[in-house]
A and B are shown apart, each in its own frame.
Chain A
Amino acid sequence: MSTRTLISPLALARPRGKAVYWTVFTGVVLLFALAFLFPVYWMVTGAMKSPDEVTRTPPTLVPQRWSVSGYTDAWDLMDLPTHLWNTVVQATGAWILQLVFCTAAAYALSKLKPAFGKLILGGILATLMVPAQALVVPKYLTVADLPLIHTSLLNDPLGIWLPAVANAFNLYLLKRFFDQIPRDVLEAAEIDGAGRLRTLWSIVLPMSRPVLGVVSIFALVAVWQDFLWPLMVFSDTDKQPISVALVQLSQNIQLTVLIAAMVIASIPMVVMFLVFQRHIIAGISAGSTKG
């Protein structure tokens, strides 16, 4: 595990090298703690201060009296259970639909040789070139009045779920992975009498666990973190996800309560990150080595 980097191991072994190394190491630890951990600490403890302590200058580093009323108030006053539940529903639905439809489509494009398959794949990849945010207004108009059936998906989780399926990046990741599965494996299953669906379900999917994991994380994080699109789709306060609700309610609410709500809104994703950190970090690092 000792690959050679910029500084040679020899230079590091010298007393002077050691001293410099540990100085830099301590410096980086302190800097990281200050830049990335301290803001989080400040947020978590800020919510526990009293309303006048939090606006005091100079600020107190540690709350004088620890109180959780900021958190309980946020939970009740800002109706966080509703908004968290909305977010969970939106993210889970988008995730499941993406897994089902993107996997099926990627499998078809990779292994079933549909007519015009190349053209379809080209059309899908072209959407990678078109930045998604630049198209939000026409997308909003489409969702507000679907062509042919003239139904509106506004204020409906379907307005998040269905557009989420049109995720070219995830579909392409899946297709690339399926491409690597040798034909023989699938043909063997077919000879055994397995249908297409059966082959996908009991051979392709079990082999694809790592890529399905990556796609799942991307799908969940994308919906949980999104702001502009749900802001457009949900004008109805009761249906808004937590990101939109936070901003809408931030104007006229006590600072400690708002900060507490911010902490609560961050917990699910941060916990998911800490649980799956090895996979997430490996996934991001692996993505870069691909051209």
Chain B
Amino acid sequence: MKTASKPAALPPAALGVPEVPRSAGRRTGGPWRRRLADQSRAYAFLLGGLLCFALFSWYPAIRAVVIAFQKYTPGSGGEWVGTANFTRVFHDPEFTAAWRNTFTFTLLALLIGFAVPFVTALVLNELRHAKAFFRVVVYLPVMIPPVVSALLWKWFYDPGAGLANEALRFVHLPTSNWSNGADTALVSLVIVATWANLGGTVLIYLAALQSIPGELYEAAELDGANLWQRIRHVTIPQTRFIILMLMLLQIIATMQVFTEPFVITGGGPENATVTVLYLIYKYAFLYNDFGGACALSVMLLVLLSAFSALYLRLTRSGGEDS
């Protein structure tokens, strides 16, 4: 992102005189008073943003930890209960189901959600025509509100008039229960999530593929490398860093999945699609158990923060080998 800077805004006299002291002649008073004035001005600019971060990011993070150890009733505050919330949540049969589902969902989303966009980007990068068309079309589902995609696929998965089973019948395959079957529900949701989010990943992979120097392919070809070998020894090593980044981001995003199970399956059938975030929602708004909800939030938070820390470390130290 570069802008043409506007030299017109510069008074010609100032260009040659960078050593003029800052804000000379504008302010009077001692250095202390000047610094105070500078600081109060700086904080006037910061205030609004700072207040919002304090209220809606920092304070809730602290509160999650506090309420996790409390019995909390909105309006009347909390009383300390030690680790009772954690033990109660642990013994909830839905707890195991939610974590199992979330991990399975993340794993499946990683397998499908890596392979499909990577191969798509690989193929798109070779096509020399209608480039803009492909990019727009692949990104279109991302712009459709997630709620609409979820409702749309719920309709596709409908056992009666659903398009998914119609398509299977059309090619003479046995029909499936899709999101209504206990063992197919989770995969069905992964398909929805992949369809809806594929576009962004494809565009990022495409940008990464375009940054691979062409000479590498030429050299590999001179060495007699075939197509598969070129992918294995040039494309993948060259994009390894971006692949790793996107995978971590995907883990963090899919572990917080909520909309698809909430809209399509309602957590069912037989708890097959209850996710951790869904369980947090249930504890807070169905059971009115805010302590339990916060205990779960803290667990999710600790786990995901570990992934985030890994991501940040890699982005800091990475770069040079990308």
| Interface set of A (CB-CB < 8 Å, partner B) | 3-8, 12, 21, 24-25, 28-29, 32-33, 35-37, 39-40, 42-43, 46, 54-59, 97, 100-102, 104-109, 112-115, 117, 120, 123-124, 127-131, 133-147, 162-163, 165-166, 168, 171, 177, 181, 184-185, 187-193, 196, 202-203, 206-211, 214, 221, 224-225, 227-228, 232, 242-244, 246-247, 250, 255, 258-259, 262, 265-266, 269-270, 272-274, 277, 280-281, 284-289, 291
- A228: chain B residues at CB < 8 Å are 258-259, 262, 277, 281
Q: A131-B301, A288-B242 are known contacts. Are A120 and B281 too (CB-CB below 8 A)? A: no
* Beta-carbon nearest neighbor of A148 in chain B: B55
Q: A4-B217, A129-B312, A266-B145 are known contacts. Are A28 and B134 too (CB-CB below 8 A)? A: yes
**Cross-interface CB contact of B130 among A29, A106, A113, A139, cutoff 8 Å:** A29
- B32: chain A residues at CB < 8 Å are none
CA distance A37 to B136 in the complex (A): 11
- A243: chain B residues at CB < 8 Å are 145-148
- Is the CB of B284 closer than 8 A to any CB of chain A? yes
Q: Can you sample 5 A-B contacts with CB below 8 Å?
A: A29-B130, A105-B45, A135-B61, A165-B53, A284-B204
**Across the interface, do B48 and A191 meet the contact criterion of CB distance under 8 Å?**
no
- Is the CB of B185 closer than 8 A to any CB of chain A? no
**Cross-interface CB contact of A140 among B52, B252, B284, B305, cutoff 8 Å:** B284
Q: A6-B122, A101-B49, A206-B6 are known contacts. Are A108 and B160 too (CB-CB below 8 A)? A: no
CA distance A225 to B180 in the complex (A): 26
- B210: chain A residues at CB < 8 Å are 3
B interface residues, how many (CB within 8 angstroms): 122
Q: A162-B52, A288-B208 are known contacts. Are A187 and B277 too (CB-CB below 8 A)? A: no
CA distance A210 to B252 in the complex (A): 28
CB distance from A224 to the nearest CB of B (A): 7
Most buried by B among A163, A191, A246, A277: A191
**Cross-interface CB contact of B277 among A3, A33, A124, A133, cutoff 8 Å:** A133
**Across the interface, do A193 and B46 meet the contact criterion of CB distance under 8 Å?**
no
**Across the interface, do B23 and A190 meet the contact criterion of CB distance under 8 Å?**
yes
- B301: chain A residues at CB < 8 Å are 130-131, 134-135
CA distance A12 to B58 in the complex (A): 56
**Across the interface, do A114 and B46 meet the contact criterion of CB distance under 8 Å?**
yes
CA distance A97 to B49 in the complex (A): 9
- B280: chain A residues at CB < 8 Å are 134, 136-137
**Across the interface, do A4 and B297 meet the contact criterion of CB distance under 8 Å?**
no
* Beta-carbon nearest neighbor of A242 in chain B: B145
- Is the CB of B195 closer than 8 A to any CB of chain A? yes
- Flag B43-70 by CB within 8 Å of A: 1 or 0 each: 1011011101101111111011001000
**Cross-interface CB contact of B9 among A33, A42, A54, A203, cutoff 8 Å:** A203
* Beta-carbon nearest neighbor of B20 in chain A: A191
**Across the interface, do A6 and B227 meet the contact criterion of CB distance under 8 Å?**
yes
**Across the interface, do A286 and B145 meet the contact criterion of CB distance under 8 Å?**
no
* Beta-carbon nearest neighbor of B255 in chain A: A131
CA distance A190 to B280 in the complex (A): 52
**Across the interface, do A262 and B126 meet the contact criterion of CB distance under 8 Å?**
no
CB distance from B136 to the nearest CB of A (A): 5
Q: A57-B161, A145-B74 are known contacts. Are A225 and B53 too (CB-CB below 8 A)? A: no
- A101: chain B residues at CB < 8 Å are 48-49, 52
**Across the interface, do B63 and A142 meet the contact criterion of CB distance under 8 Å?**
yes
Which residues of B from 1 to 22 have beta carbons under 8 Å from A? 1-3, 5-6, 9-11, 14-15, 18, 20, 22
**Across the interface, do B147 and A246 meet the contact criterion of CB distance under 8 Å?**
yes
- Is the CB of B108 closer than 8 A to any CB of chain A? no
- A131: chain B residues at CB < 8 Å are 252, 255-256, 300-301, 304-305, 308
- Is the CB of B319 closer than 8 A to any CB of chain A? yes
Q: A6-B126, A191-B11 are known contacts. Are A32 and B134 too (CB-CB below 8 A)? A: yes
- Is the CB of B24 closer than 8 A to any CB of chain A? yes
CB distance from A73 to the nearest CB of B (A): 17
- A246: chain B residues at CB < 8 Å are 147-148, 151
Most buried by B among A6, A189, A207: A6
- Is the CB of B178 closer than 8 A to any CB of chain A? no
- B181: chain A residues at CB < 8 Å are none
CB distance from A161 to the nearest CB of B (A): 9
- B259: chain A residues at CB < 8 Å are 227-228
CA distance A285 to B300 in the complex (A): 30
CA distance A291 to B242 in the complex (A): 9
- Is the CB of B293 closer than 8 A to any CB of chain A? yes
Most buried by B among A55, A203, A289: A289
CA distance A181 to B210 in the complex (A): 28
CA distance A123 to B135 in the complex (A): 36
- A-B pairs, 8 with minimum CB distance: A4-B214, A105-B49, A188-B14, A108-B45, A291-B319, A112-B42, A114-B42, A129-B308
- A58: chain B residues at CB < 8 Å are 166, 169
Q: A206-B6, A211-B1 are known contacts. Are A141 and B200 too (CB-CB below 8 A)? A: no
Q: A28-B127, A37-B137, A102-B49 are known contacts. Are A114 and B285 too (CB-CB below 8 A)? A: no
**Across the interface, do A190 and B26 meet the contact criterion of CB distance under 8 Å?**
yes
Most buried by B among A5, A35, A210: A5
